[in-house]
Chain A
Amino acid sequence: MFGLARQLARMGVLGLNRRNAEYTLRYNPRRLYPLVDDKLATKQLAQRAGIAVPELYGVVEENHQVRSLAEILEQYSDFVVKPAHGSGGDGILIISGRLRQKYREANGLLMSREELGYHVSNTLSGIYSLGGQPDRALIEYRVQPDPLFEAISYQGVPDIRVIVFLGVPVMSMVRLPTRMSGGRANLHQGALGAGIDITNGITLTAVWRNDIVTEHPDTGNTVAGVKVPGWETLLRLASRCYQITGLGYQGVDIVLDKDKGALILELNARPGLNIQIANHSGLLPRLNLVEQNHKRLNGVEERVAFAQKHFGASV
């Protein structure tokens, strides 16, 4: 057991305790958390900085607004309902179409108006929010996924997670929905996470439920070797999030829309650690390298160049 711990330490694998103590506690000031914990605030912040985000259709803040929900939704046939303070993908509802008075969920199930209203009012009372405090529900554009990852995902929208440390993208993966995850792109719900080489944007092996796999469990296609187009633009987008939030250690979630290109979906002040398994390497050496050099790096261009130079898969 100690041998295992030593081996992990040699690989520079970051554990939960160290992530909390040395990265999130040190580099993410508490007062900045509301910027990323509240998805509405994140959205507005990003928009002001000229970063593309999924369009906001409406916000439900009070319970009485739930009754007029149908009117807000009148003109949209597909949309996403999410809690402003949700964590880990909990409470996100994806509606992909309509059938008379009912809404069709992304997984094919039908949902009545009352059920949708119940979901929204649950969201408002805070069952999905972190501390259980009253919340708001956002209704926004449903991303039309780029066909890039079609062969290696099962329904849903794959998203790209980039860990950005002091503005430098240090590690990345794409999260691919599976049948088990119910079309959601969250690893703990059973989605597949495939590492992406920071240098060139080509996918590597994947992690599924803490195991390393090479094929998508539902489609059977090989996960590795898919190149993300416009990778550098994507890295720049991620790097800019450091400037707009000020959080030193964050996870940036980006989706690729068929029509609108890369959109920032959300930011995370406590990004998970499974990304290390997906990339087959530990975060610590990369984080240390950034800590030593970040003072010399000015601006997004230099940071991205530094990342591409040092954080290739072979390193």
Chain B
Amino acid sequence: MSRRHLYFLALSLTLIGLCLFLYKVLVLGFPLTPHGISDIWNVEARITFVAHNKPVKVSLFIPRPTRRFAIVNENFISQGYGITTATEDGDRQAVWSKRKARGQQTIYYRAVVRRVSAKKPGPVLRPPEIENPNFEGPYLAAAQSLIAEIRARSSDVDTLVKELIKQLNKPQLDDHIALLLGKQSSISRKVKIAVGVLAQAGIPARVVHGVRLEEQNHNAPLLHWLEVYDEKQWRSYDPITGESGVPPDYMPWWQGTQELVQLRGGDKLQVTLSVNLNQEEAVRAATESGRIKSPLLLEFSLFSLPIHTQAVYRILLLVPVGAFLLVILRNVVGIKTFGTFMPVLIALAFRETQLLWGIVLFSVVVALGLSIRLYLEHLKLLVVPRLASVLFVVVLLMALLSILTHKLGLERGLSVALFPMVILTMTIERMSIVWEERGATEALQQGLGSLVVAALAHLIMTIKQVEHLTFVFPELLLVLLAGTLLLGRYYGYRLLELRRFKELVKGST
């Protein structure tokens, strides 16, 4: 009776999952693979600040359509703010304002950007005005002698700009440049100085700020490069190498020397830019060209969530896949692990540390923790204080490892901080008890078992295809759930049990 019930449940779950999946693939034309939909991105600027019951005004530069990127869709999200946008000197700016705001404020700007095939740029007819760089005193003299120097070594504007960038990036700066740059030598500072020097030489130039359109980065760094007006058009230069042109995935956001965000009436301003490949738009494009308009499914899909949250669900939806694998490895293969779901959590941490580093770091922390735990054994402590002490030690060990690996120049070592430390502590505690009660072999066996399961789970959970399928088609998890339910009724032998009972067969035949 209950068996039939189970089969019915599993069958219904599978059917529902597969029907939804097939409908989305065949009728709505959702992409089955993460490839081939790479020309549309979501970009998001998230601004947070604290307001103090005063009028608030926030200005944000926002991207404008260029010949390489079109802006398909824009959203300005805030609570109770008035919004205006304006275009000024080729820059677009959005201004949020409110009479009275109090406490933590969050404002989003979201845009959908599509890469378009680059047209040949038309000539800019009117030469742009040159802004006076306002060099004075020694700075003016330095700029002028620098210009004289690089002009002597170049033949036209192009070579002059390249020579300038070369000078700015020399490991040993000459005195003029050192004076102009001052103490900081960040890229944005260099580009700014380059613009000033070029202006002094009568060549129109500007700083451009932008982001790289990556597959996914929810803390995208700002990039800066140089644009110079030459032969009736703007040309871009890489501020480090001096090469003309920027990579095709650099999207300009704004230009000029102003900051990205200006805030009045608040403090603790923070701006985060995030970028991700937009699959929804590809899906929507597929839908609109097809038969069905704006399906309800899409409105209630994970794509309707903010990008940050989407990124979280990309990972969360992989956890059941790991759990499914765990069920197979424990109940069908019979591998012993510490803690039921510990390996899945460790596998999640491996996402950030990479597999090899993850295994090394995990082993090091557990081994060191274990030796300290065995030492604590001599002190005869009560269990909870002892567990807490191990936790202290684990956290300190992690910090120490990060510092050591950083000093050694191994940046991967920093990611040790992502290990779930409470899980590590419990692993160490259990391992030490098994060690004491059942011997080192058993403890190492179970430790190794956990590590193998974690590594396997990691390998499966990092397959791009798997991530794509679980995120775009979460209904497939229902099919997996059905499989898990059925495995709950797997009464056969576990693979490792066969080895255990082998003697029996040998004796009988």
Contact = CB atoms under 8 A, between A and B. Distances in A.
A125 B386 CA distance: 11
A260 to B, nearest CB: 29
Contacts of A18: 491-492
Given A4-B498, A188-B438, A280-B508, A16 B503 contact: no
A90 B437 contact: yes
Contacts of B498: 1, 4-5, 8
Interface stretch (B171-179, B194-202, B377-385): B377-385
Contact of A5 (B380, B489, B492, B503): B492
Contacts of A1: 495, 498
Contacts of B509: 7
B493 A276 contact: no
Contact of B383 (A13, A115, A127, A274): A127
Interface in A1-43: 1, 4-5, 7-9, 11, 13, 15-18, 21-22
A137 to B, nearest CB: 13
A16 B504 contact: no
A111 to B, nearest CB: 12
Contacts, number: 81
Interface string B491-509: 1111101111111111111
A51 interface: no
Q: Which size bracket describes the interface of B in this complex?
A: 20 to 34
A1 B494 CA distance: 11
B387 to A, nearest CB: 9
> Could you say which of A1, A5, A11, A21 has the most chain B C-beta atoms within 10 Å of its C-beta?
A5
A15 B491 contact: yes
Contact of B491 (A4, A8, A21): A21
A210 B503 contact: yes
A54 interface: no
Contact of A212 (B383, B490, B499, B503): B503
A211 interface: yes
Contacts of B331: 17
A212 B394 CA distance: 43
B493 A8 contact: yes
Contacts of A63: 382
B433 interface: yes
Nearest to A8: B501
B505 A4 contact: yes
Nearest to A114: B380
A94 B503 CA distance: 33
A11 B438 contact: no
Given A277-B501, A277-B503, A125 B384 contact: yes
A17 B492 CA distance: 7
A234 B158 CA distance: 102
Contact of A210 (B495, B500, B508): B500
B484 to A, nearest CB: 14
Contacts of A91: 437
A280 B507 contact: yes
Nearest to A7: B505
A231 interface: no
A5 B493 contact: yes
A282 B504 CA distance: 9
A11 B491 contact: no
Interface in B110-136: none
Contacts of A11: 504-505, 508
A115 B380 CA distance: 8
B494 A16 contact: yes
Contacts of B506: 212
A186 to B, nearest CB: 9
B504 A121 contact: no
B382 A17 contact: no
B34 interface: no
B334 interface: yes
B97 to A, nearest CB: 57
Contacts of A122: 383
A211 B503 contact: yes
Contacts of A212: 503-504, 506-507
A189 interface: yes
Contacts of B383: 122, 125-127
Contacts of A117: 380
Contacts of B507: 212, 280
B506 to A, nearest CB: 8
A17 B380 contact: no
B503 A13 contact: no
A22 B500 CA distance: 21
Nearest to A212: B503
A192 interface: no
Nearest to B497: A15
Contacts of B438: 188-189
A262 interface: no
Contacts of B489: 21
A211 to B, nearest CB: 6
Given A127-B383, A189-B438, A15 B508 contact: no
Given A17-B491, A17-B492, A18-B491, A8 B505 contact: yes
A7 B508 CA distance: 10
A170 interface: no
B382 A121 contact: yes
Contacts of A114: 380
A207 interface: yes
A210 B500 CA distance: 6
A126 B501 CA distance: 33
A16 B505 contact: no
> Could you say which of B497, B501, B505, B506 has the most chain A C-beta atoms within 10 Å of its C-beta?
B501
Contacts of B334: 16
Nearest to B490: A17
B490 to A, nearest CB: 6
B382 A15 contact: no
A153 to B, nearest CB: 20
A277 B491 contact: no
Nearest to A132: B383
B151 to A, nearest CB: 78
Contacts of B494: 15-17
Interface string A146-190: 000000000000000000000000000000000000000000110
Contacts of A189: 437-438
A127 B431 CA distance: 12
Contacts of A13: 493, 501, 504
Given A122-B383, A274-B500, 17 more contacts: A1-B498, A4-B498, A5-B493, A8-B505, A13-B504, A15-B491, A17-B492, A18-B491, A18-B492, A21-B488, A91-B437, A117-B380, A121-B382, A188-B438, A277-B501, A280-B507, A282-B504
23 contacts: A4-B505, A7-B509, A11-B504, A11-B508, A15-B492, A15-B493, A15-B494, A17-B491, A17-B494, A18-B492, A21-B491, A90-B433, A90-B437, A118-B380, A121-B382, A125-B384, A189-B437, A189-B438, A210-B499, A212-B503, A212-B506, A276-B501, A280-B508
Interface of A: 1, 4-5, 7-9, 11, 13, 15-18, 21-22, 63, 90-91, 114-115, 117-118, 121-122, 125-127, 188-189, 207, 210-212, 274, 276-277, 280, 282
Interface of B: 331, 334, 380, 382-384, 433, 437-438, 488-495, 497-509
